[in-house]
Amino acid sequence: MSQLDIDDFVPARALTTIDGTAVSVPSPNRLTHLQFRRFAGCPICHLHLRSIVRRHGEIQAAGIDEVVVFHSAAEELRRYQADLPFAVIADPDRILYSEFGVESTPKAVAHPRAWLAAARGVARQRSVSGALGLGEDHFGQPADFLLAADGRVVDRKYGTHADDQWSVDEILTRAAHSR
């Protein structure tokens, strides 16, 4: 599993969201922010994605389409992520994770920042059973990709722990610099 570099190209594809609709990745006319998250009820992911939801209008106005990938099954994702206003993709076989070089390692949960985010996320999510993610891999690391319409990777980040991903401000800044 090798990581992608800036200026690498990813092939265009149609992915099926958890609600059954198709989404083009990359978007044919806009930038695509492709996020790789962890499991369906992940409290860290929940906390992060709420920040994306709060500023989703700004992200769209900046010409960016959000697509979020989880390594959970669609049925599980619908329990926790169905209310998100952007495309959510189930990848339980980790096909996309492998293609994009997104790894799973115990280091993901060893960082104190991950512990703090998990505690804050559980408090806001109010779902201990979701946070436990029974049967899920808790060692997934996040990754962010900014893709041009032609599939070129214009920017990317491979997280070093579970709470190491771009903020909304970073997404907007990186998108502005990519044009």
Q: What is the pLDDT of residues 41-89, one digit of tens each?
A: 788 788 889 899 999 999 999 999 999 999 999 998 898 777 899 999 9
In order along the chain (179 residues), what is the average pLDDT of each group of 10 residues? 93 97 97 92 83 96 97 89 91 95 67 53 51 51 96 96 89 93
What the block records as the tokens of 84 is 């998100």
Q: Which residue has the tokens 């994306």?
A: 52
Strands 13-16 and 22-25: antiparallel
User: What are the chain's domains?
Assistant: 13-173 (3.40.30.10)
Instruction: Measure the CA angle with vertex 59, ends 55 and 65; round to 5°.
Output: 125
Contact 145, 100 (CB under 8 A): yes
What per-residue confidence (pLDDT) applies to 128? 46
Nearest to 18 by CA among 76, 57, 66: 76
Global pTM value: 0.84
